[in-house]
Amino acid sequence: MIQIIKRNLAIAYSRMVCTRRSSLRTILSIEQKKQPRVNEEHIATTRGYRKKIENELEIVCSDILDLLDGSLIPNAGTVESKAFYYKMKGDYSRYLTEFTLGEKYTAAITTDFVQTEFAATYRLQLSLALDISVFYYEILNLYDYARHLAKDAFDNAIIELDGLAKEPDDKSISTMYILRDNLSLWISPDNSRREALTQGKLREKLSIIY
């Protein structure tokens, strides 16, 4: 019963956030395109719609984060349940930081992540490692640390995999593939140039804020 409740909760909030994140990415891509003949009314409409979606995202993410901190995490009956809820907390904190900086950005950086006692090939352990490494890479731009987290999780899973009597479930295997693909992407020469460019833009943003 608890598993069904957790799954339904995750699905419900995921659906509310997924469509809004997709819409926000579309609007941001439109705003970033160079369109010299776009009139001011069109620009104002686009910005207004973006602000509306950002506000809706903030409400949904804040709602689930309050629920997690105020009830679900403190009352989790098992280590697995607590890890599941911490994973959700990390996910929705990351969603917030996709469009916020300043105090909200800093608050999301300090998100707690549970130290689990699961096997290295367990699906939840791998999912946590994947989410945290992506958080450090895409949101905090701490590229070396993100690579370290992903590589450590992948290597530990490979070592443990050799000694297992049977293969882990499909979810674990697919997550290992994603970790491997991320590592391949994150060490490519083209990506190194993008990292340097991102770091420069981040410094510019922070200099404006502070």
The angle formed by the CA atoms of residues 89, 199 and 29, to the nearest 5 degrees, is 70
- Residue with structure tokens 């731009």? 141
Residue 117: per-residue pLDDT? 61
The pLDDT tens digits for 91-147 are 888 788 777 654 444 444 444 444 556 778 888 888 888 888 888 888 778 888 889
Res. 179: pLDDT tops 90: yes
% of the chain residues with pLDDT over 90: 7
Q: Residue 35 — pLDDT band, cuts 50, 70, 90?
A: low
Q: Residue 154 — pLDDT band, cuts 50, 70, 90?
A: very high
Task: Give the separation between CA 16 and CA 175, rounded to whole angstroms.
Answer: 24
Task: Give the separation between CA 179 and CA 137, rounded to whole angstroms.
Answer: 12
Task: Give the separation between CA 154 and CA 163, rounded to whole angstroms.
Answer: 15
pTM: 0.65
Task: Give the separation between CA 85 and CA 65, rounded to whole angstroms.
Answer: 10
Res. 167: pLDDT tops 60: yes
Give me the helices (H) in the chain, please. 2-32, 40-67, 79-97, 102-109, 123-134, 143-162, 170-186, 189-209
Which tokens hold the place of 181? 């693909």
Residue 206: per-residue pLDDT? 38
